[in-house]
Chains A and B, each alone.
Chain A
């Protein structure tokens, strides 16, 4: 029988993860399917009985309910059920009823186990725990982690403006030509054949060391033992050849024709998307216009980091480092313009930049903690000017003005230490909605310039206050549950309208923020100073505020959400669009959609845990 020709086969191919099976695996699966029919309200599974099949719903729908007939899950066309029972040796724990007349394709248990062993996509789909499933997904994404040079061919890297000289050229002439052409190497050619190469290094090792006459032909000093690469070699190949032979120049040859030269510098330049280079340049900048120019490359940098398969938190950290450097450089410029500061101050940033969670340009959230030596009449003008200069500069660089006016230019957030302290006192002891909002912003505060002791002391005072009013954590915990993951019942995505775009998932508000908010509550409870969400979760576990499982689950969910957001933003940048947080489910693979649901579900679970722990019984 040619089962591949049947419509059943086409249907199976449309069901994830069966679409990831090989032809042979799918054929074997199709051939061993048994088909059964259940009328509406008919019982499919009964607890304490045995199940030997993985069920795939061809048409209809079923509900899984617990002993008290409370709804646990609903499955519909293309969904699977029964694998949980298979995993525990066949024992059924929950009721399953058909809620519509349903046709099931039943896949024998032995085949299920075989595919779990043979097929990675199948395994990661049916992995028992959604947290484990998510972890294996993250690992799979990073399994593609590679040195970017590995995926780049020499053809893309080489430069073709090369200096070619005949072998009889004098070494003086060679030196002059290399110097005037600004070249570190020259290729020596005779009758269209490469006969050697000279590099700037040879002038040290052979010419000067051996005190050669300047009229000596270059042929005597050139290196003839030519090591070359082909344009099809990868950048990594080239780098290894250079390292192994201790050379820095490689002629690129194709069909015995010289195409160009690849230098060690070319390889480094290719990696110059690395923000370290950008940060270096930022610190050298003397004009705002230079900073603006450097910041313009930030979206491209983000794309390259995403393409290179870097981990989400490493990317965010890199991007945040650039944001920090820009602000620091602007403050230096301001101090140069307005003179040294009359009193100590700490320039603090809040929000994603403070958490090292920045992706592409976001709003600026900042403030200034002034020393209590500050005197409005004497120093007011200076700090007003400084704040304005920095804020304007940031805005020009793409870190736009904060719509909520949480900026040092707002006198409310440019205050002496004692005033800041009174703010926190008010927020903590009379936690009104606005207070909780400000708390969420200013508990994530990082000093990036000036006297950081001002902020450290403030942090200590804050922890002191919180210990005295633990109720505040309850309020923060309740606040952390305001943004819920976009999952409806039955694990369906709940989409939101965003401006002109089609309905989408707000990754920031519905996924990343709930994680961040929860981590903040744990940090407050533990009395720790970490600001980064991942660090907070890890530290909260160290302090025994959350279990290891909770830490790992939330880290995985957070990492996955950040990664999806970054990939989405990189995609938008490449299409020439403005990057945002609104991911449409259509742009995700069905596997990503499923993992995303897992991540959201993990968040929802821990929001409930949070609610149980802090909210109930205390209020």
Chain B
């Protein structure tokens, strides 16, 4: 845990020394959530990106959806969904997955504007994603290309949380079992059919609440660091 703290601190210092961008500085100067605080005390932003592929260097974010959790409740009022503009043509395959057309995507928000807006939203919050590697790498990639430095951020991963829960219980993990929609089934969460970034973010947020309530003592006592994998 210390290493994450150290890394974030290091990145923060470095970023503050290099960037002059006001919105980024605001983000950096604000207090970060402490990993020693409890889930109940923490504000979360559950994030999901739809991307053209898995490689953050080559691929692009098509859309982003998020919803916030505070006081252990998902706040639907905070839900947002944005299309991100990209000049790159989409490969036919990913279009069919996400049901978005080139036209719809080209109407989106430019990535720089979007990113600064997102920074404002995640200020002081812990970010959650399912299989956070994708969101994390894209965030770092964008931060690097816009500001030329890393983005200090605390992120939880519902997939990793589930993996740890199962490891602790000595339960074997079956192929595909940790996928978001299979896990939801496991927690008696409703089946969602749609597949867009916001719908996935809400689905992930619900999964997070389910995990917390089902496998840990009480969100009033559960600390963030116990969920950091």
Contact = CB atoms under 8 A, between A and B. Distances in A.
A3 B190 CA distance: 18
A102 B192 CA distance: 16
Given A35-B74, A35-B209, A60 B202 contact: no
A543 to B, nearest CB: 55
Interface stretch (A36-44, A155-163, A353-361, A374-382): A36-44
Contact of A58 (B187, B190, B198): B190
A8 B194 CA distance: 11
A398 B74 CA distance: 64
A170 interface: no
B155 to A, nearest CB: 21
Nearest to A106: B73
Given A11-B190, A102-B188, A103-B206, A42 B213 contact: yes
Interface in B168-193: 187-190, 192-193
Q: From DSSP, what is the main secondary structure of chain A's interface residues?
A: mixed
A8 B213 contact: no
Nearest to B187: A101
Interface string A559-581: 00000000000000000000000
B151 interface: no
A102 B81 CA distance: 26
B75 A59 contact: no
B198 A6 contact: yes
A37 B76 contact: no
Most buried by B among A31, A36, A100: A36
Interface residues of B, number: 26
A37 B205 CA distance: 10
A45 B202 CA distance: 25
Interface in A18-39: 30-39
Contact of A31 (B76, B189, B193): B76
Given A37-B206, A37-B210, A3 B79 contact: yes
A209 interface: no
A37 B202 contact: no
Contacts of A549: none
Contacts of B214: 39, 101
A178 to B, nearest CB: 73
A7 interface: yes
Contact of A8 (B72, B75, B76): B76
Contact of B193 (A7, A37, A42, A59): A7
B206 A30 contact: no
B213 A7 contact: no
Nearest to A102: B188
Contacts of A58: 190
B1 interface: no
Given A8-B76, A33-B76, A103 B199 contact: no
A58 B81 CA distance: 22
Interface string B42-85: 00000000000000000000000000000011111101110000
Contacts of B80: 1
Given A38-B213, A103-B206, A59 B188 contact: yes
A501 interface: no
Given A1-B79, A6-B199, A7-B199, A101 B73 contact: no
A2 interface: yes
B205 A35 contact: yes
A35 B206 contact: yes
Contacts of A37: 187, 189, 206, 209-210, 212-213
Given A60-B188, A101-B187, A102-B188, A39 B75 contact: no
Contacts of B190: 11, 58-59, 103
Nearest to A31: B77
A174 B194 CA distance: 77
A448 to B, nearest CB: 61
Nearest to B80: A1
A36 B76 contact: no
A34 B79 contact: no
11 contacts: A3-B76, A6-B79, A7-B194, A7-B199, A34-B73, A35-B76, A35-B205, A35-B209, A59-B188, A100-B188, A101-B214
Given A37-B210, A59-B190, 7 more contacts: A7-B192, A8-B76, A8-B202, A34-B76, A35-B209, A37-B209, A58-B190
A-B interface, 8 closest residue pairs, ranked by CB to CB distance from nearest: A35-B74, A37-B209, A101-B188, A34-B73, A33-B76, A39-B214, A59-B190, A39-B213
